[in-house]
Amino acid sequence: MKGVLPSELLRAVRDELRLDSRTKEVYIKGQVLEPSLTVKEFQLLELLYNRRGQVISKDEIAREVWDYEVFDYNAIDALVYRLRQRIEPDPGIPRYLVTQRGFGYKLIINPE
């Protein structure tokens, strides 16, 4: 069958990091991440993925990922640390989950 692939399918093929909200699976360079993420790790990644390229503040992460107000930003820092350990090739030099100092975090699914 000839024709042009839909742009969303082409993007999904090119994306280094991809998330499937229905199956709760994360793919890095086409490989499913095993073992799967914890619920909070997935919720944070899903929030960032749905707004990829945009900076998300810690306040917004607290509202969206926790069911209650988080006053201790250390919990968010710890969650970001754990997520980086799972998705980054080198967590010390993040490619996907990037800190925007003073603003928050953003997800880059196709780092250069």
Q: What is the pLDDT of residues 46-86, one digit of tens each?
A: 999 999 999 999 999 998 998 777 668 899 999 999 999 99
Instruction: Kindly state whether residue 42 falls inside one of the protein's structural domains.
Output: yes
Cis before 89? omega within 30? no
Instruction: Kindly state whether residue 24 falls inside one of the protein's structural domains.
Output: no
Q: Does residue 9 have a pLDDT over 50?
A: no
Instruction: Kindly state whether residue 10 falls inside one of the protein's structural domains.
Output: no
Whole-angstrom distance, CA of residue 96 vs CA of residue 111:
7
Whole-angstrom distance, CA of residue 70 vs CA of residue 73:
7
So what's the pLDDT on residue 67? 74
So what's the pLDDT on residue 3? 57
Greater confidence (85 vs 5) lies with 85
Instruction: Kindly state whether residue 84 falls inside one of the protein's structural domains.
Output: yes
So what's the pLDDT on residue 15? 78
- 45: nearest Cα among 9, 74, 4, 88: 88
So what's the pLDDT on residue 5? 44
Domain total of the chain: 1
- Only one residue has tokens 């820092």, namely 77
Q: How far apart are the first and last CA of the chain?
A: 33
Exposure string of 79-112, with b = 16+ CB inside 10 Å and e = fewer, is bbeebbebbbeeeeebbbbeeeeeebbbbbbeee
- The helix (H) or strand (E) run that includes residue 77 is helix 73-87
Domain span holding position 82: 37-107
